Amino acid sequence: MKGLTILGSTGSIGMSTLDVVARHRDKYRIVALTANRDVDGMLVQCERFTPEIAVMADTDSASRLAKGLSQRSIATEVLSGLRGLEIAASIPSAEIVMAAIVGAAGLLPTLAAVRAGKRLLLANKEALVVAGHLFMGEVEAHGAEILPIDSEHNAVFQCMPDDTREGLKHCGVKRILLTASGGPFRTLPLEALATVTPSQACAHPNWEMGRKISVDSATMMNKGLEVIEAHWLFHAEPEKIRVVLHPQSIIHSMVEYVDGSVLAQLGNPDMRTPIAHALAWPHRIESGVGSLDLFEVARLDFDQPDLQRFPCLRLAYQAIQAGGTACAILNAANEVAVDAFLSERLAFIGIAAVVEETLQRIPVQPAEDLETLLDTDRQARVVAEQVMQNRVSSSGIS
């Protein structure tokens, strides 16, 4: 039986992971769970899975959780803050760590898991987006193992040769084809994008996701971040990674080989499939996902992304080409802009505008160490907030 830590257990990926684990209690046991401030959700999970430790983001949430656990006579130890997250990520009794904390907040605990030599199920994009070079260096240095959880990267992993460390050409791969649904605004008239609401942006046509990721899907920043991830995960140059619009979300990604073959991974759009794959790899376990009915699907459509409609995708490609701290700036500015949009302080079309202006204002530096990247992250958040406030004060919500 393998021990498992879930970083971000009350989010959508965390809950899907627990759903898979519940089907295989003979194979996996929950060692540690972490959440932000969802005390009620964590209480339910601790009651069901009795982890050794549970971690909350702050001392107030941790205190309320500890009180609730005591009332239920549950012996789980409660910790809080970054130190608690790092303990959960590196605890010796967990061989596997699911890294599912959304945003840059997940970077340091994910690195702690790598430095402990864990099998890391990577659902946190920012570890690679913000610190790809350093992160992969730590993986190599500490003998950690990365299995991607994003449906697209997991699909590529399933279609890829075993070893890509020498580059795609070395293993006969011509390019990676990352599929994208196009989100809820794929066919919306461009002039209507200025007035879309957070509820509309979060209504993804195929996937059930958290609000931040749903907005990133609507802007296609999510796909831009995935291009950056794929660059590091598969040692692929950006020009060898192509985004393909595929509205049905049945083909989760493809790998094209130099002999003309194209391998694709298909399945119903349900995150439990890549989670189950990564948990059991190199074996397979039942995930709870229904069988794909190709007769019901009937057709598969493909198109090229429109960069006028999706400027965030263009910005992501530009950031990875710029290198250094550019991707950290991109990510931080996007988090600020998306949060402002979700709180109705910024219009949907303002997200890309804030990110682009922030990238223009902050000089790109070499990403030589983690402190440089974290400083860049903090600076980019301040600048992005200033850019957003300037736009709002000059023209209202923009």
Q: Does 278 map to a domain?
A: no
Question: Nearest to residue 231, comparing CAs of 318, 167, 326, 150?
Answer: 167
Residues in CB range of 142: below 8 A, 6 or more apart: 114, 115, 116, 117
What residue numbers bound the domain in which 263 lies? 156-268+291-297
Task: Write down the pTM of the prediction.
Answer: 0.91
Residue 398 to residues 144, 162, 175, 348, Cα–Cα distance (Å): 44, 47, 38, 8
The enclosing H or E element of 65 equals helix 59-71
Residues 226, 115 share a domain: no
Distance CA 233, CA 146 (A): 8
> Both 14 and 104 in a single domain?
yes
Residue 255 near residue 346, CB atoms below 8 Å: no
Amino acid (one-letter) located at 197: T
CB hemisphere CA count around 322 (13 angstroms): 21
The CATH number of the domain holding residue 54 is: 3.40.50.720
Do residues 336 and 378 share a domain? yes
Residue ranges in the chain whose pLDDT is less than 50? none
Other beta carbons less than 10 A from residue 380's beta carbon:
26
Number of domains the chain is built from: 3
- Based on the domain organization, do 143 and 214 belong to the same domain? no
Q: Are residues 142 and 177 in the same domain?
A: no
Domain membership flag for residue 70: yes
**207 and 188 in one domain?**
yes
Q: Are 152 and 253 in contact (CB under 8 A)?
A: yes
pLDDT of residue 125: 83
Among the three residues 126, 148, 170, which one is the final residue of a domain in this structure?
A: 148
pLDDT of residue 164: 73
- Decide if 313 is inside a domain: no
CA 24 distance to own-chain centroid: 25
CA distance 138 to 134: 6
Q: Which of 114, 148, 182 is the last residue of a domain?
A: 148
Q: Are residues 6 and 137 in the same domain?
A: yes
The pLDDT tens digits of the residues spanning 87-100 come to 999 999 999 999 99
Q: Within a domain: residue 261?
A: yes
Residues 180 and 117 in one domain: no
**Residues 180 and 66 grouped into a single domain:** no
The CATH number given to whatever domain includes residue 354 is 1.10.1740.10
Report the C-alpha gap between 97 and 4 in whole angstroms.
6
The alpha carbon of 154 is separated from its chain's Cα centroid by a whole number of angstroms, namely: 12
Asked whether residue 374 is assigned to any structural domain, the reply reads: yes
